[in-house]
């Protein structure tokens, strides 16, 4: 499990943090409890997979347990910028399959004028693509502890974190 967290450790983003889970939920299109089932290659933002200025992405795949806000499908595909250039299979091999997660999500808007290379294999027809509202929007229960794999700061929320041993305590 710790290898999974270490693999994501190089992820970084500039964002305005939610002060509490309720604040983050208010900024989200959906909030759900789900199980992590895998990681696959995502879209490439750029003109080709060899474009030197490209941004590679991963897609985290989750199976819904319970929606708490928004219209959430049974399978969720959540896009994350890939930390580094390793293939998705490297991340997937370390995925804690079945780990329970609390997700704060935004729908990915249609690409404006930026070239995009679709994911391979493509997502199922009609499946919405999501982003975590902020890196705080991916809370994972591992070894009896709630962690935010994409957020290095502690506490995760500036106003303080709920019970670190109970994922559902983090629901808004």
In a domain, 43, yes or no: yes
In a domain, 161, yes or no: no
- pLDDT band, residue 18 (cuts 50/70/90): very high
**Residue of 121 and 70 predicted with greater confidence:** 70
Counts for the chain of helices (H) and strands (E), in that order: 3, 8
Q: Say if residue 165's pLDDT is above 90.
A: yes
- pTM score, whole prediction: 0.93
In a domain, 31, yes or no: yes
> Considering its fold, how many domains does the chain have in total?
1
Q: Tokens 């690409």 correspond to what residue?
A: 111
Q: Say if residue 41's pLDDT is above 90.
A: yes
Q: In a 3-state reduction of DSSP, which class is residue 80?
A: strand
In a domain, 110, yes or no: yes
Q: Say if residue 117's pLDDT is above 90.
A: no
> How many Cβ atoms sit within 10 Å of the Cβ of residue 51?
13
In a domain, 39, yes or no: yes
- pLDDT band, residue 65 (cuts 50/70/90): very high
In which domain, by residue range, is 80 found?
2-156
Please report, rounded to a whole number, the percentage of residues in the chain having pLDDT higher than 90: 67
Q: Taken in order 6, 36, 148, 39, is the CA torsion positive or negative?
A: positive
CA 64: distance to chain centroid? Answer: 14
What is the DSSP-derived secondary structure letter of residue 102?
E
In a domain, 167, yes or no: no
* CATH code of the domain containing 24: 2.40.50
In a domain, 88, yes or no: yes
In this structure, what token pair is assigned to residue 78?
């959540």
Q: Say if residue 58's pLDDT is above 90.
A: yes
In a domain, 6, yes or no: yes
């Amino acid at each position: 499990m710790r290898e999974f967290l270490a693999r994501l450790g190089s992820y970084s983003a500039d964002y305005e943090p939610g002060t509490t889970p309720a604040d983050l939920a208010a900024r989200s299109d959906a909030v759900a409890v789900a199980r992590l089932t895998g990681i696959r290659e995502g879209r490439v933002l750029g003109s080709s997979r060899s474009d030197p200025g490209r941004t590679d992405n991963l897609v985290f795949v989750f199976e819904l347990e319970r929606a708490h806000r928004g219209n959430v499908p049974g399978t969720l595909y959540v896009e994350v910028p890939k930390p580094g250039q390793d293939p998705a299979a490297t991340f997937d091999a370390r995925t804690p399959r079945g780990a329970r997660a609390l997700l704060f999500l935004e729908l990915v808007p249609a690409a404006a004028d930026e070239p995009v290379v679709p994911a391979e294999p493509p997502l199922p027809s009609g499946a919405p693509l999501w982003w975590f509202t902020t890196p705080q929007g991916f809370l994972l229960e591992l070894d009896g502890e709630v962690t935010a794999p994409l957020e290095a700061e502690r506490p995760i929320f500036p106003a303080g974190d709920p019970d670190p041993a109970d994922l559902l305590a983090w629901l808004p």
